[in-house]
């Protein structure tokens, strides 16, 4: 594989800048793509992700998400890796990104940087929630489309597609139609501002640089309620008090935001249940049962 990456790079001055490769080292941590750190003789390092050519749309989506996040990120607080090139070679696709050294210990600037990203993007004239192209959440599809009504968008473009997939393990969508109708109205009454979100913000998709700046990567972005990002930070843990303090100092959440946490995390739990099964199924059904009690 290292040899294939080296041959693919020979056609890209965007990545190599005419410097020779010193070594290519596999990097762990991902469950969908293979990853690599490419060391050049001039001291530069580049991150590479590879997959079969049939999955190139995953890389196209990631490249677009990173570009949009980078557009709204305040560089004094947060670093978004620069997409360098996307290459097809033989039967593989390879996405090359700027290398970022990660340090998980500092999170205050990560929180502030995320809040500034949400706030700055919300100040544009974007009126609709959604995304132009079909995306991905993990290995599953993230539905494209636009909607001015936030509740309708989240129910019809996020929850309902996952519930339909969950038919494979026994979920009957019609049994939860009353819950979906309630959620559509409840979420829209919240009237959130339209912000760009990371979309898959667990601790494995963010961190801090060696200089202390926050960094975001592996996004599944769309225009949404910013609370979807904050909710997911609470799903699997890994975020400390300094992160939330930093976020609140820039753009405080309203006192009812905790009431929406399980609703927004249901999307990710269902997605994990559809991909991996196991306890994610029980957790998804528990939240659906709890939500029914609100109806």
Active site amino acids: 200
- The C-alpha atoms of residue 185 and residue 201 are separated, in whole angstroms, by 25
CB atoms within 10 A of CB 17: 12
Structure tokens at 10: 């020979």
Radius of gyration for the alpha carbons in the chain, expressed in angstroms and rounded: 20
3-state helix, strand, coil in the chain (%, to 5): 45, 20, 30
Contacts of 151 (CB under 8 A, 6+ apart): 183, 184, 185, 186, 187, 188, 189, 190
Structure tokens at 139: 């290995």
Give the rounded distance of the alpha carbon of 21 from its chain centre: 31
Tell me which residue of 260, 67, 225 sits closest to 150, measured CA to CA. 225
Report the b/e string of 20-45 with b at 16+ CB within 10 A: ebeebeeeeeeeebbbbebebeeeee
Beta bridge partners of 79: 215
Contacts of 184 (CB under 8 A, 6+ apart): 149, 151, 152, 154, 155, 156
Q: Residue 154 has what DSSP assignment?
A: I
CB distance 169 to 275 below 8 Å? no
């Amino acid at each position: 594989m290292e040899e294939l990456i080296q041959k693919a790079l020979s056609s890209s001055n965007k990545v190599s800048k005419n410097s020779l490769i010193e070594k290519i080292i596999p990097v762990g941590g991902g469950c969908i793509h293979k990853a690599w750190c490419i060391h050049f003789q001039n001291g530069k390092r580049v991150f590479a992700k590879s997959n079969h050519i049939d999955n190139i749309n995953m890389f196209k989506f990631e490249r677009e998400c990173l570009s949009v996040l980078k557009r709204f990120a305040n560089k004094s607080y947060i670093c978004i890796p620069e997409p360098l090139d996307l290459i097809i070679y033989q039967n593989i696709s390879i996405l090359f990104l700027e290398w970022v050294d990660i340090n998980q210990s500092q999170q205050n600037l990560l929180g502030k940087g995320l809040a500034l990203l949400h706030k700055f993007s919300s100040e544009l004239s974007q009126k609709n929630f959604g995304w132009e192209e079909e995306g991905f959440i993990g290995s599953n599809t993230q539905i494209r489309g636009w909607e001015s009504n936030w509740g309708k968008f989240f129910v019809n473009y996020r929850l309902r597609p996952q519930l339909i997939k969950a038919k494979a393990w026994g979920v009957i969508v019609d049994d939860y139609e009353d819950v979906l109708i309630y959620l559509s109205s409840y979420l829209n009454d919240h009237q959130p501002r339209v912000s760009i979100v990371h979309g898959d913000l667990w601790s494995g998709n963010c961190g801090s640089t060696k200089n202390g700046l926050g960094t975001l990567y592996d996004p599944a972005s769309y225009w949404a309620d910013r609370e979807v990002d904050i909710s997911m930070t609470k799903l699997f843990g890994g975020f400390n008090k300094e992160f939330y303090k930093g976020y609140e100092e820039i753009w405080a959440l309203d006192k009812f935001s905790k009431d929406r946490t399980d609703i927004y995390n249901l999307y990710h739990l269902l997605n994990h249940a559809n991909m991996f099964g196991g306890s994610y199924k029980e957790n998804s059904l528990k939240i659906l049962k709890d939500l029914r009690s609100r109806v």
